[in-house]
Amino acid sequence: MSEHQHPGDDHLVHEHRDLGGGTARATVFGISDGLVSNVALVLGVAAAGTSPATVLLAGVSGLLAGAASMAAGEYVSVKAQTELVERELEIERASIAQEPELETTELAAIYRSRGIEPEHAQAMASAVMADPEVALEVHAREELGVDPDSIGNPLGAAGSSFVAFAVGAALPLVPYVFAGGLTAAVISVVIGLAAAFAVGAALAYFTERSKVRSGLRQVALATAACVLTVGIGSLLGATVI
């Protein structure tokens, strides 16, 4: 959480969630992706008239493969972004140490471009440059648009993505542990749609938007994926359920 305060005031104005690390995004995306992909997968396999055991095996395989793929992709993505930002920060750190006057002029120009009077802009830039660490943080925000303290955790994002995908993908498999045929397929769809709505509503809670609208949006996406998968199965000549 970052805290914003009025000058000279010890009371918080408001708090913000940490949006830069990537873990929250990976978790939400992982659950949604695991849920939608495995609901569609088990329906597609069930549409071929296979046994509940085969459907379950296919679902578990999809869970493991999808979770591993999501984790690997998330790790590579966040790691590459982190290394890129770290490289740029090193360049900026070296420039601040070797050419402080040019960096001060550059920062003052940024402030002037935002409507601050030249004299005040120069004074602000000089004050920032008095502390190299503060200068690096400010230059990173102003020039790179990043927070040096929140550049992402590849392992955290990968782990969150793996677990979230696995949880989402496991939900539509539960009915096939106890039943089969049309009954399991219907229960699986109901669980999937209910979970999709819950994911959308949870996301809306954090973004402070309409829970119903966000939940229905997730349900619509899940439904479209399921209809497409079953439709393809039918076109291939399978008898649905």
60 is a domain residue: yes
Q: Which of the pair, 150 or 14, is modelled with greater confidence?
A: 150
Q: Is 14 strand, coil or helix? A: strand
Question: Which among 234, 225, 241 is positioned nearest to 41, based on CA atoms?
Answer: 225
145 is a domain residue: yes
11 is a domain residue: no
Residue 11, pLDDT score: 46
- Residues 54-101: tens digit of each pLDDT: 888 888 999 999 999 989 988 998 899 888 888 888 888 898 889 888
| Number of domains observed in the structure of the chain | 1
Residue 26, pLDDT score: 66
Using the structure block, give the residue that is written with the tokens 């120009």: 109
Give the predicted TM-score (pTM) of the model.
Answer: 0.70
Alpha-carbon torsion 175, 176, 180, 182, what sign?
Answer: positive
Asked if the model's pLDDT at residue 18 lies above 60, the reply is no
Alpha-carbon span 235 to 45, nearest angstrom: 13
Using the structure block, give the residue that is written with the tokens 């439709």: 231
- Residues 177-208: tens digit of each pLDDT: 887 778 888 888 888 888 888 888 877 777 77
* Mean local confidence (pLDDT), 101-120: 89
Alpha-carbon span 58 to 49, nearest angstrom: 13
Alpha-carbon span 204 to 197, nearest angstrom: 10
Can you give the residue range of the structural domain that contains 70? 22-233
Question: Which among 131, 147, 23 is positioned nearest to 77, based on CA atoms?
Answer: 23
Residue 2, pLDDT score: 42
3 is a domain residue: no
15 is a domain residue: no
185 is a domain residue: yes
- H or E segment at 168? helix 154-170
12 is a domain residue: no
Residue 60 Cα to chain centre, angstroms? 24
- Residues 35-60: tens digit of each pLDDT: 888 888 887 777 766 778 888 888 89
Q: Which tokens sit at 139?
A: 């230059």
49 is a domain residue: yes
Q: Which of the pair, 202 or 19, is modelled with greater confidence?
A: 202
- Residues 208-218: tens digit of each pLDDT: 788 888 888 88
